Structure 1
Amino acid sequence: MKQLTATGPSIDEAVQSALEQLQTSKDQVTIDIIDEGKKGFLGFGSKPAIVKVSIKKNPLQDAETFIYEVAEQMGAPVQVHSEVRQRDIFLNLEGEQIAVLIGKRGQTLNSLQYLAQLVVNRESDVFYTVMLDAEGYRSRRKETLENLAGRLADKVVRTNRDVRLEPMPSYERKIIHNALQQHEQVKTSSDGNDPRRHVVIHPR
């Protein structure tokens, strides 16, 4: 239950009733007063106060809860180390079955990251970016992609023909683009539509 409407003889009592039902505290909610109520005279003509109490959205907690639950269902329970920098949420996963959550070439990890971002931004007025890593996989993948970019650039120079890479998520394509940005003999572009969008390396 994320929110509810409660009534009481006064606003404070209506709010307290809502907090008890939501099992939370006042600092964790937002309160909208629908009707201030009316005391009346000797009990006649009185109206109860009505409030709507909503639990504040906690994007980090939402992301962590989603990952914990999905990892458990996949038979790969994890520990999550998290950090928030402004509107960026960084989650690093550790666990004995971490390879299950990474998947082939990081495809499972990418899917989990995408879904976690959807969960975090659902019904939110502020957009948060979620970055999911697993025991340093992202840095190892970055190094692999940079090495791949260098090898394929050499091939383009040698053959003077375009080389198309496999489809990648946007941040992995960016690694390829950045790796070859200063290369004097090749240039890069992206082609196709997601999820089949890919990098093309061209001779200059």
Structure 2
Amino acid sequence: MKVEEKASIYLAYLDKILAGEDDIGPVKDVEIEKLLLMAKTMISADFSVDSKVRESLRKKLLAQLKEINKSSRFYHKKLTSIRELFVGEKIQIVAEEAPGYYSTDLVIPLHQYSLKPISRGYYFCDITDEQLFFEKIKHILGNDQKEPDDFIKNMLKETPQIRNYAKAPSGLIVDIGILKFEPIVIVKRIVEGKEVTSMVFRTEVLN
């Protein structure tokens, strides 16, 4: 497991601990488990105990966090292409295979998905079948790309669970039954220790 991935998974679990959850589920990575145990000890420590013990725990936790931070800064947010985001590697595309501009809107029905509110009418829509979704949109990848607004730019910058992201192609409309939306960016993020591909969109319908 890469250091960046460990850091993001650690943060996801730490968020649960800070939220007061006693059962955060199984932790498969031994190093992450040790870090979380130390964090739990720090958070639940009785501050009436000896000050030397408290300071020792504090220094150990900060040292571990500093090491992860120095290695990766939790994730260098990487702007990438849709193809690389879904396929996982850069591919040399020959001229005959290169996508062209799709002049009309492409409406893709999505039956399996998961919505999570972000803030101010913005949502994550998790893509369950990534391969099928990519196959449906790959011929419009030559379209102009959406430009994220200031809110999304700040979210990408301030959310350590987001690994990479790509700007969505214009003309893409996703139909989830209860509403239709136009994705602004598509991101790779860590949710409960697992990597998920999500579209980010804004709507007033669900507010």
TMscore range, shorter length? under 0.3
Structure number with greater CO (CA < 8 Å, separation at least 6) is 2
- What TM-score comes out, normalization by structure 2 length? 0.24
